[in-house]
């Protein structure tokens, strides 16, 4: 191993590491401070905030790894370029205990740390909001018993919302008060949809016969996008509208107006329930 190439290798190694360190030292702060605040989703709730933190952390972790590959690649192009007549590959390298150990330890540490951190933010930090945790969430936020229940009903191809504490009215618009814990009870009347309130960091499956609960507390007033995030048929793309986070007083006026507006049709609605099983033939005919 005392060939010329063998003596050169450490110097190349040091150079590659040095270039990589410099680029990493530039890139990581840029990602955290400049790109991070623009990564999705906006921080309209604690849950959305922790999703953005996750995106920032993962980008900040992945970029050094990607940089190492790119630096090595470009360095090899420049310095290990073969000039003159083509010759066969050098002798194969069989095993390098140090490199293998480093590779296994480093990748395992990164993956396990991310798994622990991801599980914590998903279960304990976000209290199961976001994805919805079924009818009986294992992890509930404090004060969940006093959460404002809002039922989200998906059907081909529209979202409607019921407010059981306000006479069970059904509305086509979604509004929630700010700084108030809301329990979205997401369900469907036909096929599987997915209720995605982007800025709130909520994306919960709407499954017929299932009461899928997702908690969220909005941090400020404003609009949020609602989409269906599960391909559910021909007009899937039509299941899009804007929801609103209102200040408490504005919400009270809105719900009072909605109650008056919808009072006439409440008697035609099925009684408020956690799930509904409409007759498909009647719906079709
Ligand atoms: Cu849908």
Predicted confidence band at 2 (pLDDT cuts at 50, 70, 90)? very low
Tell me, in angstroms, the distance from the centre of ligand 1 to residue 238's CA.
Answer: 8
Tell me, in angstroms, the distance from the centre of ligand 1 to residue 199's CA.
Answer: 18
The pLDDT tens digits of the residues spanning 68-122 come to 999 999 999 998 887 777 777 778 888 889 989 999 999 999 999 989 988 887 7
Angstrom distance (rounded) from CA 285 to CA 281:
6
The pLDDT tens digits of the residues spanning 10-20 come to 688 899 999 99
Angstrom distance (rounded) from CA 87 to CA 85:
6
196 domain residue, yes or no: yes
Tell me, in angstroms, the distance from the centre of ligand 1 to residue 186's CA.
Answer: 12
Reading the block at residue 10, the tokens are: 């450490």
Tell me, in angstroms, the distance from the centre of ligand 1 to residue 158's CA.
Answer: 7
CA dihedral 190, 193, 199, 202 (to 10 degrees): 90
Q: Quick one: 50 and 174 in the same domain? A: no
The pLDDT tens digits of the residues spanning 185-234 come to 999 998 999 999 999 989 999 999 999 999 999 999 999 999 999 999 99
88 domain residue, yes or no: no
Tell me, in angstroms, the distance from the centre of ligand 1 to residue 282's CA.
Answer: 20
Tell me, in angstroms, the distance from the centre of ligand 1 to residue 39's CA.
Answer: 25
Tell me, in angstroms, the distance from the centre of ligand 1 to residue 224's CA.
Answer: 17
Q: How many domains does the chain have?
A: 2
Angstrom distance (rounded) from CA 168 to CA 149:
10
Q: Quick one: 57 and 25 in the same domain? A: yes
Which residues have CB less than 5 Å away from ligand 1 (the ion)? 193, 228, 232, 239
The pLDDT tens digits of the residues spanning 19-71 come to 999 999 999 999 999 998 998 888 888 888 888 888 899 899 899 999 999 99
237 domain residue, yes or no: yes
Q: Quick one: 274 and 148 in the same domain? A: yes
**pLDDT reported for residue 142:** 84
Q: Quick one: 72 and 17 in the same domain? A: yes
Tell me, in angstroms, the distance from the centre of ligand 1 to residue 165's CA.
Answer: 26
Query: Would strands 241-246 and 175-177 be described as parallel, antiparallel, or unpaired?
Result: parallel
Q: Which strands form 175-177's sheet, in the order they lie side by side?
A: 175-177, 241-246, 222-228, 193-197, 202-206
Tell me, in angstroms, the distance from the centre of ligand 1 to residue 233's CA.
Answer: 7
26 domain residue, yes or no: yes
Has this prediction a pTM greater than 0.85? no
Tell me, in angstroms, the distance from the centre of ligand 1 to residue 108's CA.
Answer: 38
Q: Quick one: 148 and 277 in the same domain? A: yes
- Mean pLDDT, residues 247-256: 94
Reading the block at residue 35, the tokens are: 């790109």
136 domain residue, yes or no: no
Q: Quick one: 171 and 112 in the same domain? A: no
Q: Quick one: 114 and 165 in the same domain? A: no
Q: Quick one: 119 and 158 in the same domain? A: no
Tell me, in angstroms, the distance from the centre of ligand 1 to residue 160's CA.
Answer: 12
Angstrom distance (rounded) from CA 265 to CA 262:
6
Q: Quick one: 172 and 43 in the same domain? A: no
Closest CA to 180 of 275, 250, 121: 250
pLDDT at 1 over 50: no
DSSP 218: B
Containing structural domain, residue 278: 144-284
Report CA-CA distances (Å) from 86 to 4, 39, 73, 75.
19, 47, 20, 20
275 domain residue, yes or no: yes
Tell me, in angstroms, the distance from the centre of ligand 1 to residue 172's CA.
Answer: 15
160 domain residue, yes or no: yes
Tell me, in angstroms, the distance from the centre of ligand 1 to residue 241's CA.
Answer: 12
CATH number, position 165: 2.60.40.420
Q: Quick one: 155 and 192 in the same domain? A: yes
Q: Quick one: 108 and 170 in the same domain? A: no
Q: Quick one: 280 and 148 in the same domain? A: yes
223 domain residue, yes or no: yes
Tell me, in angstroms, the distance from the centre of ligand 1 to residue 156's CA.
Answer: 6
The pLDDT tens digits of the residues spanning 259-276 come to 998 888 888 888 898 988
């Amino acid at each position: 191993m005392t060939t010329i190439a063998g003596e050169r290798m450490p110097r190349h190694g040091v150079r590659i590491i040095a270039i990589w360190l410099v680029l990493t030292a530039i890139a990581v702060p840029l990602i955290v401070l400049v790109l991070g605040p623009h990564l999705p989703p906006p921080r309209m709730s604690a849950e959305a905030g922790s999703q953005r933190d996750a995106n920032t952390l993962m980008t900040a972790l992945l970029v050094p790894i990607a940089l190492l590959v790119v630096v090595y690649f470009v360095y090899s192009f420049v310095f290990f370029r073969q000039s003159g007549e083509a010759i066969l590959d050098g002798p194969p390298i069989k095993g390098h205990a140090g490199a293998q150990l480093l590779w296994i330890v480093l990748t395992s540490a990164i993956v396990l740390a991310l798994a622990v951190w991801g599980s914590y933010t998903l279960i304990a930090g976000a209290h199961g909001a976001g994805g919805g945790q079924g009818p009986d969430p294992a992890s509930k936020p404090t004060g969940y018993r006093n959460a404002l229940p809002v039922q989200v009903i998906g059907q081909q191809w529209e979202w409607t919302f019921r407010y059981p504490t306000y006479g069970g009215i059904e509305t086509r618009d979604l509004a929630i008060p700010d700084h108030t814990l809301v329990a979205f009870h997401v369900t469907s009347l036909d096929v599987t949809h997915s209720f995605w309130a982007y800025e709130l960091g909520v994306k919960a499956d709407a499954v017929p016969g299932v009461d899928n609960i997702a908690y969220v507390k909005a941090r400020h007033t404003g609009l949020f996008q609602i989409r269906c995030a599960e391909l559910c048929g021909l007009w899937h793309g039509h299941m899009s509208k804007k929801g609103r986070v209102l200040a408490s007083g504005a919400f009270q006026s809105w719900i009072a107006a909605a109650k008056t507006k919808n009072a006439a049709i409440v008697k035609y609605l099925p009684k408020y329930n956690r799930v509904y099983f409409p007759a498909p033939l009647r719906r079709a005919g």
